[in-house]
Each structure stands twice: as structure tokens, then as C-alpha cells.
Structure 1
Amino acid sequence: MSQNGENPVYYEGWHFTDVVRTKALARLEYLLSQDQPYYLQIAPYSPHVQNDVNQPIPLARHMNLFPDAKAPRLPNYNPPPTRSRPKRVAGLPGGKALFFSEDTNLPFAGFLRPNGLPSWTDSWSLLEQWKNPGGNTGDKPGGGNSKKTLNVEFWGSCTIEAPNGRELEAPFSNTTYKTLRILGENEPWLFTVWCNGDMEMYDTANDPYELYNLVGQAEYEQVLNRLNALLLETKSCAMGSCRDPWHIFTPTSNSSIPNATMASHAGDTVKLSSLKQAMNSKYDAYFASFPRVHFETRIQYQDIKNEAPFYPSYAAEALGSADRRPTDNFISSNPGVAFRDNNYYEYGTAAQRNATLEQIYANARNLTAEEIATTSKPKGRQAEKTAMKRWGFQSLPEWIQLGHD
């Protein structure tokens, strides 16, 4: 662990999770002794692994807790390749880099109490409800208000944090996408546009496991047009337009031209507020006129020119371009001499659970410069030798050749 950019400290004989917990408890004791407000964030990297080469190492006391554990086999577990999802992602395993429900839904254990959840908690607008259980949270930024429209987006390559990642041909360099998920009893949809132009659309009310892609089916073309327009707007929304994305759309019954201004317009102007309202057939031409969400080319970062057009046209300014700094001065580091501790399966015993800082620091030492990295990145065969030395491979895995070391 590194403090304030100093050389990392190696805590020999201790599992990283125990080190983090002991340090956090010590910090809490200090903060609680002060008469000042504080913010403390604790973020251990477990169960992540370094470049997905080995399985995550549990604490010794947890090693054999779940010998018969098995992932649930839901209908969408390893579906056959004949499904309607684009072939290039049909075999892509679940993880945390995709837009499917298993990747984006997180369980929330905010109340661990025998009586269950308080009656006033709807599990959405939590913060303000905690402060004022009986009141209205109000329509304001940060008010904890529920959102029916959710964006999921990803740039770059997606790896698989599992020992068989190489077997599954990870990493996947074609996982850049834009996704829109609409929640609600009568209008739940999932719509995605991939960097190569492929699209996916699921009716998550009738297809909760997101198995049947409806793109290309004529009866769903009008739904797709609405979702495309909404994704075109929400991919660069800011503040109010993120909380209420439909208000940007102001169609008229006689117009098929998208209008992005907030002022009143001549004719039968309507300010939309939901997908249900937008599905009125008199707006078919209006929503069909929006350009498709797309990527100019496949790159691994957000680039405004690559993701144009935007709606409204000025929405690209919301992406923070005025505050972005150039990245051409970035210095890439490269691992130096391999550092390996072969006794790691012994760390994290039951006796170490209540360790003190003094015990953890007893055998601690700073890593040397040779054990960390060099500031210049070796190229060609030298880089391959460095990575092979680091990981102990006889032949270099493809994902390291691609620059993932």
C-alpha cells in the first residue's frame, strides 16, 4: 500500500483485506476522537486480481466456507448461440462491463434488522428519506429522487476476471456501447447501440432475462425510434435533462423536425414526460427523423467527434470538454522485477482478524524501486521479456501483447 505517492509498503504475512480493515478501524478511532466532521472512504480491491492471471486469493479463514457454492442457473445462463443477440457477443460471459441486468443491478443491504425495511422506504430516494421519512424529497439536484431512465455506457476493452479468461479469448476490444434502460411498470425497455452499429432492444417486462432481441421487427420500429431519440439526448445530458430527459422533446402534430429549444412554438406544441405519451402515433414522423446513435469508429475512450451527433446539438458541451486536459503528456509505467510471495494462502487467519497496527507493521517494509516499476516503457521483445519474467509465462498471453500488462 502506498501513502501519498510514497514507495508502497509490503506487509509480509498479512492479507490485504486485513491490513485495510485494521488501518480503517485505527483511523476511525482517531476521527471519532476529534470534534470535527469527517469523510472516510474504504475501498479494498478484493476480490479483484492483478490482470486476471490467477484466482482471487481469499483470506485463510474464508478459504473453505462454501465448498459446494454454485452460481444460479437462470434462463439466461450460457444461452445457446442461436438466440437473436448479435453473434459477436453471443458467447460473451457476464461480468460488470455489460449492460445486462446481472451486470448493472446491485443488491442494497442498507437495513439489516429483524423487522425488515421501514414502511416509508421505497429503496430509490434513500438519502432524503432517511433525513425526512414523512416528507417530500422535492425536485432538486442531489435530492435522492427516483429516476425512470438510466444510462449505461462503456468504452474500451472488456476483460474477464476469471482463470479461464484466456480460454474465452479475453480481452474483448469491441465492447464500447451506449445503453438506455427505462424502468416502470408499463414501459420497461433496454436499448443498446454498439460501436460497430449493432443494436439490441429488449422488452424487459415480458422478457426479464433479456434473451429476445426485438431490433428489426416491424411491430417494434416505433418503440425503437423513441428509444433512439432518448438515448441520443441522454448520452450527453446534464443536470435537469438527466433527471427529466423527456422535457427536451417538444414535438408538434404537424412537424417532423426535431426541435431542441425550450421556448414555446407555434402550433400544437407538446412537452413530453414519458415514453407512454411519446408513443402517440401522431409523433411517429417526429421521432423517425432523429439520426441514429452511432460511433464513427471503434476507439477505447470518449471522443466527442467520434460520438456525434448529439441532441440538442449544443449538448456536447455538457461532456466537460472545456475542463479536459490533453493526455499526450501521460507517462506510462512498466513493471520491473517480479515480486512474488508464495505463502499468500496462509494469510488472513482467524487469529489475524483482530490484529493491531503494531502487529501489522512488525514485519512491514518498503518495496524497492527495482520491485515496483520503471518510468520508461520497454518496447518490443524487451517488453515481452519483462512481462514474462513478471508473470512466469513461457509464452506471453495475447492480452498482455495487446498492452494489458
Structure 2
Amino acid sequence: MKGSSVLLGALSGLLAIHETFALAYPTPGVQHPLQPGSEDHGSAKERPNIIFILTDDQDLQLDSLKYTPLILKHLKGQGTFYKNHFVTTALCCPSRVSLWTGRHAHNTNVTDVKPPYGGYPKFVQQGFNSNFLPVWLQEAGYDTYYTGKLFNAHTVNNYNSPHVAGFNGSDFLLDPYTYSYLNATYQRNHDPPVSYEGQHTADVLAEKALGFLDDAIAGERPFFLAIAPVSPHSNVDPSDAGSKHGPKMTEPIPAERHKHLFQDVKVPRTENFNPDTPSAVNWISRLPKQNQSNVDYNDHFYRSRLRALQTVDELIDEVVARLAESGLLDTTYIIYTSDNGYHIGQHRLQPGKECGFEEDIRVPLFIRGPGVPANRIENVVTTHIDLAPTLFEIAGIEQRIDFDGTPVPLIEDSKSTRHEHVNVEFWGVALPEGEFNTLGPDNPAVITNNTYKALRIIGDGYNLYYSVWCSNEHELYDLTTDPYELNNIYPKGRVEDASDISILGRPLSQVIPRLDALLLVLKSCKGVTCVKPWEALHPTGGVRNLHDALSIKYNAFYHEQAKVSYDRCESGYILDAEGPLSPLVYRDGLRWHDWV
């Protein structure tokens, strides 16, 4: 009898897993009975408007916000700052696709900025042009508008094959002119592209954004307006964009009226800025210490980024003023964030992103709007995967079951259950920017083994970053004692022998297997499992966070788990290179493989 009950329990658990999978990924064209349909959204006039501002490569850790007083006044002072907000892929196109779909990059399979693994063609190939945020908002009764950068590899040659769906009005920046500050090309609605050579791209964008805002205000339906400045991304001239060595990325070009600003400002001299001792693992551990000329250039690069952000600061002021004039400021949500963070000199790195350090994965997030407390700091963990669900909540739309995230708390007394983790993932190359790199200014370096899976976890008594590289090197940082991630505490010998360092009173020999298991779930999670990964390991309950998982009764279970590893380094999400994909499952003291 005991064997029969165990078998029935296993089968019921497997059926539940298959039901969840069927809900999250229904057969195309088939409506599942529990899948959200076309519900009644109530009176259109009662629903709030939404303005979403998405900058490009804006740092949080390097204090760029300190130099944007109007953003601080209108958004931080009148809204909520999400202090622990992270991107899950520190690269623009994968991050943007995840943001607009509510799915991790391992579920969109858009993992790079250009084909075959990314860019606009990959977005279309994956079927998202008819299945992403603006389309859903239109179906829910919103007018939708967009101007600025959408995705990489959205070009003057492919903009109409097909046209981007889901917008009442659009005016997109197009490659190879996207990052050319003084030679931009925009493409409006279904019209041919138009060159704005000689005009600063930020001023062109501001005119287009305010024009769409006027159109939206004049409409009869609630509206969603996305404004995506290219600032403070590096400048890339069209002639350099297609170089076989990668694009030559130099400091951004500010508007003429801002070129004199911040003459004495330097990159913050934190402990991890150009350290005397190498840090991290893999290719980062082999970087040379930067000489004074390199450091001076990085300071110049930093000042150029701050100057380029001034046009964004001005635009926020104009948007708020236009909303106030129309009487819509109090009924409009304004959301401000960036597609990824940025480093300049930390860990000896040249300017750039694509790493898992705090500088690259932490980004600004401000939300102001009806009911959102003013001048509040929210400490819970939030990610870009949570933003599409948040927009659904604001718009009063039933949440999609294929979302990998959950809405961020908009009010102070929110009772929503939050995740404590961030699933960080990256595939492919790293591109150092600026005039200095390992191969010289005319031959930009391309780092080809920059694939890794990582976990960022913040809870009561722990603040950790854990990564596994495609070289199968590991990093573990305790940011409570090492906020600049300089001391990799992953043991050099056997994990089983690591007992000299403890977290939550447990030796690393017990903590690391828990992190391995959590990362194994997150690296290929779907839907609700991405929000509640511990339930995949403990489906009968009892474990909600790392603290619970560290109970000594689970020691044997976690030591038996497969470890995250790679069979080889690949430039994209190729499953047979990803190593183990499924964890063991704990149920009433029994373990077996999760076969889904």
C-alpha cells in the first residue's frame, strides 16, 4: 500500500506540472479554459494613462541620477524609487524583449543584438510581433504610441518586413543610424525612413515624443506612450557600425548647450575602480590595470554620459508640464527605467555592460501615478520581468499565465508576496567600448566566452551574487561584507570542505548546494516557477526562501542535486550546451527527477 500511495503521489505531482506547463504555453490558436480571454475592462475613461521612459545604458551605481535634478524632482520626489531593481540580461535587445513580453531571455530565445541569436529579425521570427505589450494594450482598449529606439537590428532595410505591430503611432530610430547622435534616421508609422543629419537626435526625439503626447491627450481612449532616448549610449557612426571587429563605440555626443557642464566630475572612485589586484574570474581576471591616460579618458567618457542625459532630464520636465496643462498629470502613471546598467573602470573594465556585476544589472526604476506614495523608497527585489505584469495591473488587465514575473508593489501597504531572487543570464560576447581596449582603438576587442548563468538573491540576513560561467568557473560574493564584489568566496578546493565562511550560520558547504539548486530551477524556469522557484524543489511546501531551504533536514537532498554547468561555450541559447536542466524534487522525504 505504501508503494502505491507513493506512485499516486508522484503521478499527481507530474500531472500538476503538465497542467501548469499547458497553461503557460498553450497550443497556438487553441484557447485554454483558464487562459485569460477578452474580458470587460470597464469604462475606458476611468483607466489611467501610462508614459514609459526607457533610457539606453543608464547606470544606477555610478550616480548618474545625481546629475538629473528634474528627474529627481518629478519622479523620485513625486513617486517611488525601487532601490533593488535589476535587469535579467545586461544587454539592450534581450533586455527590451524581456521587458515588453514579460519573459526571461531563455523563454524568448532573443539573446543577442543581431541575428542569428537576436535583434529585430529574431524577435519577429519568434512570433512576438503579434504577441507583445502594445498589442495586448490595444486589445484592452488603449491607444499606443512609441518613439525612439525599439530593438537593435531594426534597420533602414528591414523596418517594413514586417512593420512593427501594435502602435497607433510610432517613430522609430533605425540602424545603422540609431546611435549616431548627429546623424539619426527615424521612421514614422508606415512612411519611409527620414534622415536628420546635422540635428541632435535628442532634440528630434523630444519633438516627436511631445507630438505623440498631444495626439494621445486629444484621443478618447486611455493611452500608453513609450519614449526611448538613445542617451547615454555610446556614439556609433554608421560607417563603423558594421565593422567585422564589432562597432567602434566612442563617448556619447551631448547637445551643444550641455557641452560645458561637469568639467571637474570624475567616475566615482569606489573600491572596485581600477583595483590594484585583479578580481573576478574568466577573462575579467586577466585584465591589466589601467594606466593614467586610460583613467583620464574614462573620466571624460563619464562626463559625456552625464551631459548626454541632460536632454532626457529636460524631456521629463516637458512631459510633466504638458500633462499638468491638460489636467491629466494626476491620472497618469510615469515609469522611468533603463534597459541595462553600465560600468566604467570597475574591475579594470573598459566602458561597457554585459557583465553580472551590480553596475551592469542594477538600473533606475521610478514610478509615479495615482496612489503611488511620493518620495518613497521601496526595498523589495524587482526586475524587468515584473514590468509587463505591472503595466497589466495598472491597466486593469488580467495577468497572463505565460508571464515570468509578478507586478511590483505600487502602494506602501501592498500585501503581495515578493520573490527575493533575480535570475541573471547572458550568452555570447562582451564588447569593450571607448578608445582603450586590449586590441587597440582601431580594432575593438570582442570577448567571445562571456556566457554565464547567475543568481542575485537578497533576503533577511543575506545579500549574495552567485554565477557559473561557460568555462565552469564560479563566483560567489557576499555583498553584505563585500558590496563592490572584490572577494570571490567560492572555495578554491572542494565545496564539501568549505567550512571557514558561513552565511546565516551555515557553512558554505551547505549554502552553495542550495544556490546551485535554485539556479538550476531558474535557468530554465517558465511562468509561475520563475516567481516561486522554491516550490519546484519543494512542491508540498515548507520552503519559501533561502533561510527555509537551509534547514539541516534538507542537507542530503541538496547535496544530491545536479550542479549547473556547461558542456561548452556557445554564443546563443543552445540547450545541448547548457548542462543539466532539471532538478530533483523533494516530497515527504522522497526524491525523484522532475521529468518536465
Would you say same fold, with TM above 0.5? yes
Structure that is richer in strand per residue: 2
Deviation of 1:27 after TM superposition, in Å, equals: 1.3
1:10 maps to amino acid: S
Which residue does 1:362 correspond to in 2?
none
1:103 partnered with 2:378:
no
Provide the aligned length of Structure 1 versus Structure 2. Answer: 287
- After TM superposition, the structure 1 = structure 2 runs for residues 289-328 of structure 1, keeping only pairs within 5 Å, are 289-312=560-583
1:86 to 281, 299, 314: 281
Q: Distance in 2 between matches of 1:286 and 1:13?
A: 64
Which residue does 1:364 correspond to in 2?
none
1:41 partnered with 2:236:
no
Which residue does 2:264 correspond to in 1?
68
Secondary structure of 1:209's match? coil
Secondary structure of 2:561's match? coil
Secondary structure of 1:159's match? coil
Secondary structure of 1:2's match? strand
| Structure 1 gaps, min length 5 | 132-139, 251-261, 265-269, 318-405
Deviation of 1:5 after TM superposition, in Å, equals: 6.7
Q: Distance in 1 between matches of 2:271 and 2:534?
A: 33
The alpha-carbon distance between structure 1 residues 28 and 67, as it changes in their structure 2 partners (threshold 3 A), is same
1:272 to 532, 543, 562: 543
2:281 maps to amino acid: P
Give percent identity, aligned residues only: 33
Deviation of 1:188 after TM superposition, in Å, equals: 1.6
2:283 maps to amino acid: R
Which residue does 2:214 correspond to in 1?
29
1:149 partnered with 2:334:
no
- Partners of 1:236 and 1:316 within 8 A in 2: no
The alpha-carbon distance between structure 1 residues 37 and 147, as it changes in their structure 2 partners (threshold 3 A), is same
Which residue does 1:56 correspond to in 2?
252
Secondary structure of 1:41's match? strand
Secondary structure of 2:459's match? coil
- Partners of 1:24 and 1:42 within 8 A in 2: yes
2:509 to 212, 221, 240: 221
Secondary structure of 1:183's match? strand
- Partners of 2:381 and 2:458 within 8 A in 1: no
- Partners of 1:246 and 1:272 within 8 A in 2: yes
Q: Distance in 2 between matches of 1:225 and 1:95?
A: 32
The alpha-carbon distance between structure 1 residues 172 and 120, as it changes in their structure 2 partners (threshold 3 A), is closer
RMSD, aligned α-carbons? 3.1
Secondary structure of 1:192's match? strand
The alpha-carbon distance between structure 1 residues 192 and 311, as it changes in their structure 2 partners (threshold 3 A), is same
The alpha-carbon distance between structure 1 residues 81 and 171, as it changes in their structure 2 partners (threshold 3 A), is farther
1:241 partnered with 2:529:
yes
1:32 maps to amino acid: I
- After TM superposition, the structure 1 = structure 2 runs for residues 5-16 of structure 1, keeping only pairs within 5 Å, are 7-16=192-201
Deviation of 1:13 after TM superposition, in Å, equals: 2.9
Larger radius of gyration: 1
Deviation of 1:232 after TM superposition, in Å, equals: 0.3
TM-score, length basis structure 2: 0.44
Q: Distance in 1 between matches of 2:260 and 2:534?
A: 51
Secondary structure of 1:211's match? coil
Q: Distance in 2 between matches of 1:173 and 1:30?
A: 45
TM-score, length basis structure 1: 0.63
Q: What do residues 62-86 of structure 1 show as CA deviations (whole Å, max 9, x unaligned)?
A: 1111111101111111223454x32
Q: What do residues 356-392 of structure 1 show as CA deviations (whole Å, max 9, x unaligned)?
A: xxxxxxxxxxxxxxxxxxxxxxxxxxxxxxxxxxxxx
- Partners of 2:381 and 2:421 within 8 A in 1: no
